Amino acid sequence: MSHEGFGIAKIKRDELPEGKVLCEYCTARCCRYFALPIETPESAEDWDFVRWYLLHERASVFAEDDTWYLLVHTKCKHLQDDNLCGIYETRPQICRDYTTANCEYEDDWTYEKYMETPEQVAEFCEAAFQKKGACIRSRKPALLPVLA
């Protein structure tokens, strides 16, 4: 089975041949974005900052284990065509500390909260901070005219 668009035969993590590195079978998702922790949004002003982040291309926010992150979808300039690191021997410490033990190899990661658009922020805020008894549903649309 070929991994979409990358021509890599995807194997299961526990089927890794002896002497091989998991990265040789991966699409290098970890090298195609970076995530920075942000303050947990609580106030209307905080949520407006989150909305501002999402007005920028290739940005999203997510929460995992009660920590919020700004995720920037951008490929590392040293990622090679074979999805391996072009500066592996001199890579930054953050890359050295990262292991494949808990990486996103399986493609089945989900986040507690994930937002990609400013509209999603508005919808989330409306649902999460609605006044007691207030309805968050859209208004009932007008009836269509009856054609004769």
- Report the alpha-carbon angle 57-60-63, nearest 5: 170
User: Is the confidence at residue 97, as pLDDT, over 50?
Assistant: yes
In a domain, 145, yes or no: no
> φ and ψ at 79, to 5 degrees?
-75, 125
Average pLDDT, whole number, for the chain?
85
Task: Give the integer Cα–Cα distance in Å for 9 and 7.
Answer: 7
In a domain, 139, yes or no: no
Using an 8 Å Cβ cutoff, are 59 and 70 in contact? yes
Pairing of strands 113-115, 67-72: unpaired
In a domain, 12, yes or no: yes
pLDDT of residue 79: 96
pLDDT of residue 1: 40
Using an 8 Å Cβ cutoff, are 68 and 41 in contact? yes
User: Is the confidence at residue 12, as pLDDT, over 70?
Assistant: yes
In a domain, 45, yes or no: yes
pLDDT, average across residues 64-84: 94
Give the count of domains, the chain.
1
pTM of this prediction exceeds 0.75: no
pLDDT, average across residues 14-20: 87
* Closest to 47 in 3D by CA, of 128, 111, 136, 112: 128
pLDDT band at 105 (very low <50, low <70, confident <90, very high): confident
In a domain, 137, yes or no: no
In a domain, 79, yes or no: yes
Using an 8 Å Cβ cutoff, are 13 and 106 in contact? yes
In a domain, 133, yes or no: no
In a domain, 41, yes or no: yes
Task: Give the integer Cα–Cα distance in Å for 52 and 64.
Answer: 20
Tokens of 137: 């549903």
Domain that holds residue 104: 2-128
Question: Residue 129 contacts by C-beta under 8 Å, 6 or more apart in sequence?
Answer: none
